[in-house]
Amino acid sequence: MHIVIYYLVAFLWAVFTGFIFSSIGAAGGILASFGFITVLNIPVANSVKVMSQILVIISPLIALPVYFRQKRIQSLKKVLFYVGFTMAFGAIMGAIFGSWLSKNYLFELKSFKYLFGYLTFIVTALMIYKIVKQRIKKSKKGNVEGSKNQDMSDVTYIGKFSFKKINFKFMSEEHSFSPPILFIAGFLIAIVSSIFGVGGGFLIVPFLTDINGLPAFLAAGTSILVVLIASIVSVSNYVRMGVHIIVPVLLVEIAGIILGSVLGPKISGRLNEKWLKYTLIVLLFFIGLFYVFKP
């Protein structure tokens, strides 16, 4: 009976994690890790990291085909290829280095939880920043966004193309990015995500939109692609280094995360997205407090 309850709790937490991640698009890896460490009481930090990243892979696998089926992505495929795979090449190297570093030097659960708590604070701060930014943008622009979305005829062309800089036009707006900077960013973000067993989308999207000024739609697709590739590489390296995976627990969690990811878009439309985000922010804040002050 004890075992049945344990696996039922694992399944339900995974459903909750998949629901939140598919509804809001954030904190999937953090909730997965919290579930393994605190809800299910798994004492091995390295096992938590690799199993959490396996769960993180599920959502991009579901989201990527849906993303590519959208009409507006057709004109952005070439740009997405350049941006996504430039970051992904850096992320591959970062994922290998980060997983090796974490496996060998951050294997104690107490130390992992302590640093993980600070990571949770960072994610919470970024979510609050995004909410505030959207409110300011909405109050300034009013209905300007609606007029931008009306014309999809003149969407994208690639302009200046060089090793240092690539220019492109999207929706009558000029954008540019530097491949070397994207490569370095992908490398550094993948190190962080593989060390903690999370996806890294919480860093990729702000980097692309706020620092590089790329369209949010392009940043979302790039994030999905980079997270998928980096997580697969990181998990493969963890497994290659002999990190133990608790297969029965993982299989139950995979089933739950898939169900939650399917239910999320269907149910979240009936809920207040703003209050979902506020609830997640509060939850993440208390997870951070719990891990930092009681690791």
Q: What would the pLDDT profile of 230-276 be if each residue is shown by its tens digit?
A: 999 999 999 999 999 999 999 999 999 999 888 876 776 677 778 88
- The structure tokens 């909410």 sit at 131
Question: What span, in angstroms and rounded, lies between the C-alpha atoms of 54 and 38?
Answer: 18
Res 151: pLDDT: 46
Alpha-helical (H) ranges within the chain are 2-24, 28-34, 45-69, 77-105, 109-141, 144-148, 179-196, 201-206, 216-240, 247-268, 273-293
Q: Residue 124: which domain range?
A: 2-144+152-293
pTM summary value: 0.85
In the chain, the number of structural domains is 1
Q: What was the pLDDT predicted at 150?
A: 42
Check residue 142 and give its pLDDT: 57
Nearest partner of 192 among 295, 112, 94, judged by Cα? 94
Place of tokens 């963890």: 238
What 8-state DSSP symbol labels residue 207? I
Residues 236, 54: Cα–Cα separation, whole Å: 10
The Cβ-side half-sphere exposure at 81, using a 13 Å CA radius, reads 6
> What's the rounded Cα separation, in Å, for the pair 102 and 99?
5
Q: Residue 76 in 3-state DSSP?
A: helix
| Strands ordered across the beta sheet of 156-161 | 156-161, 166-170, 173-177
Question: How distant, in Å, are the alpha carbons of 52, 164, 166 from that of 160?
Answer: 40, 10, 5
Neighbours of 120 (CB within 10 A): 26
Q: What are phi and psi of 100, to 5 degrees?
A: -65, -45
pLDDT of residue 212: 82
The per-residue pLDDT for range 75-134, each reduced to its tens digit, is 677 777 888 889 999 999 999 999 999 999 999 999 999 999 999 999 999 989 888 888
Beta-bridge partner residues of 158: 168
Mark 254-265 as b/e (b = at least 16 C-beta within 10 Å): bebbbbbbeebe
Q: For residue range 132-166, what is the model confidence (pLDDT) as tens digits?
A: 888 887 777 654 444 444 444 445 556 566 667 77
Q: Enter the tokens of residue 55.
A: 């769960």
- Residue 17, both tokens: 């994690």
Dihedral pair phi/psi, residue 70, rounded to 5°: -70, 145
Q: Are 61 and 228 a contacting pair, CB within 8 Å?
A: yes
The confidence score (pLDDT) of residue 175 equals 74
pLDDT tens by residue, 54-83:
998 887 777 677 666 766 666 677 777 888
Provide the pLDDT confidence category of residue 218 given band limits of 50, 70 and 90. confident
Q: Return the higher-pLDDT residue of 63 and 285.
A: 285
Please tell me whether residue 170 adopts helix, strand or coil conformation. Answer: strand
**Cα–Cα dist 227/58, whole Å:** 11
Q: Count Cβ atoms below 10 Å from residue 293 Cβ, excluding itself.
A: 9
Amino acid (1-letter code) at residue 235: V
